[in-house]
A and B are shown apart, each in its own frame.
Chain A
Amino acid sequence: MRRARGWLARAIAPFGGGRTDSEIDEELRSHIELHVVDNIRAGMTPDDAHREAWMALGGLERTKDEYRDQRGFPVIDSLIRDVRHAIRLLLKSPGFSLTAIAILGLGIGANAAIFSVVNAVVLRPLPFPDPSRIMRVWHTPPREQFSGMATFSVSPANYLDWRAQNTAFERLAIYGFRPANLTGRGEPDALRAGAVSGEFFEVLGARALLGRTLGPGDDERDRSHVVVLGEAVWKSRFGGDFGIVGRTIQLNSEPYTVVGVLPQRLKFPAFADMWLPLVWTAEQRAVRGNHNYLVIGRLHPDVDVRRAQAEMTTISQRLERLYPADDKGWGAVVLPLHEDMVSNVRWGLLVLLGAVGCVLLIACANLANLLLARVLGRARELAIRSAVGAGRGRIIQQLLVESTVLALAGGVVGFLAASWTTGLIVESFGRSLPRAAEVALDGRVLAFTCAIAIATGIVAGVAPAWRMTQGDAGEALKQGMGRGGSHAGERRVRNVLVTTEVALALMLLVAAGLLIRTLSQLRAVDPGIDPRNVVTMTVMLPRATYPERSDFVRFFDRAVARVRAVPGVHAASGIDSLPLAGGGSMQPVAIDGEPARPLSEQPEVAVREILAGYPGAVGMRILDGRDLGEGDREGRARVAIVSASMARRFWPNQRAIGKRLTLGLISNDMREVVGVVSDVKINGLNETESQMVYVPATQVPTPRMSLVVRSTVPTEAITASVVAALHAVDAELPVVDIHTMDEVIGESIAQQRFAMRLLTAFAALALLLAAVGIYGVLSYTVRQRVQEIGIRMALGAARLDVVRLIVVEGLKPTLAGLGIGLLGAAALGRVLSTLVFGVTPRDAATFAAVSGVVIVVGLLSCLLPAYRATRVDPLQALRTE
Chain B
Amino acid sequence: MAETTDVWRGTLALMILKTLETLGPLHGYGVARRIEQTSGGRLSVHYGTIYPALLKLEQEGYIASDWGVSENNRKARFYRLTRAGRRQLARESQEWALTTDILSRFLGAERT
Contact = CB atoms under 8 A, between A and B. Distances in A.
Interface of A: 2-3, 5-6, 9-10, 19, 23-24, 26-28, 30-31, 33-35, 37-38, 56-59, 62-63, 66-67, 69-71
B47 A10 contact: no
Nearest to B52: A70
Contact of B60 (A6, A27, A38): A6
B60 to A, nearest CB: 4
B108 interface: no
A377 B49 CA distance: 41
Contacts of B61: 2, 5
The residue among B30, B62, B77, B84 with the most chain A CB atoms within 10 A of its own CB is B77
A67 B74 contact: no
Interface in B56-96: 56, 59-62, 70, 72, 74-77, 84, 88
A38 B29 CA distance: 11
Nearest to B45: A58
Interface in B1-35: 27-30, 33
A58 B47 contact: yes
A6 B55 CA distance: 10
Q: What's the dominant secondary structure at chain B's contact region?
A: helix
B46 A37 contact: no
Contact of A30 (B49, B59, B77, B84): B77
B27 A30 contact: yes
B62 A57 contact: no
Given A2-B61, A23-B77, A37-B74, 17 more contacts: A2-B60, A2-B62, A2-B84, A2-B88, A5-B59, A6-B56, A24-B51, A26-B75, A27-B51, A28-B48, A28-B51, A30-B29, A30-B77, A33-B74, A34-B29, A59-B48, A66-B52
Contact of B52 (A37, A56, A67): A67
B60 A34 contact: no
Task: Give the interface residue-count category, chain B.
Answer: 20 to 34
Contacts of B84: 2
A56 B46 contact: yes
The residue among A3, A9, A31 with the most chain B CB atoms within 10 A of its own CB is A31
The residue among A34, A35, A69 with the most chain B CB atoms within 10 A of its own CB is A34
Contacts of B29: 30-31, 34-35
A30 B70 contact: yes
Contacts of A66: 48-49, 51-52
B49 A58 contact: yes
Q: What's the dominant secondary structure at chain A's contact region?
A: helix
A62 B46 CA distance: 11
Contacts of B27: 30-31, 34
12 contacts: A5-B60, A6-B56, A19-B55, A35-B47, A38-B33, A57-B47, A58-B46, A62-B48, A66-B48, A69-B52, A70-B55, A71-B55
A70 B48 CA distance: 12
A70 B74 contact: no
A30 B27 CA distance: 9
Nearest to A70: B52
A23 B28 CA distance: 13
The residue among A6, A26, A62 with the most chain B CB atoms within 10 A of its own CB is A6
A57 B48 contact: yes
B49 to A, nearest CB: 7
Smallest CB-CB A-B distances: 10 pairs: A58-B46, A63-B48, A70-B52, A9-B59, A58-B48, A6-B60, A6-B59, A34-B29, A30-B76, A2-B60
Nearest to A63: B48
A2 B62 CA distance: 9
Nearest to B72: A37
A27 B77 contact: yes
A49 to B, nearest CB: 14
Contacts of A69: 52
A66 B48 CA distance: 8
Nearest to B56: A70
A71 B54 CA distance: 11
B48 A27 contact: no
Nearest to A13: B59
Contacts of B59: 5-6, 9-10, 70
B64 to A, nearest CB: 12
A3 B60 contact: yes
A623 to B, nearest CB: 94
Given A26-B75, A58-B46, A31 B52 contact: no
A492 B112 CA distance: 75
Nearest to A2: B60
B18 to A, nearest CB: 18
A815 to B, nearest CB: 60
B51 A56 contact: no
A70 B4 CA distance: 14
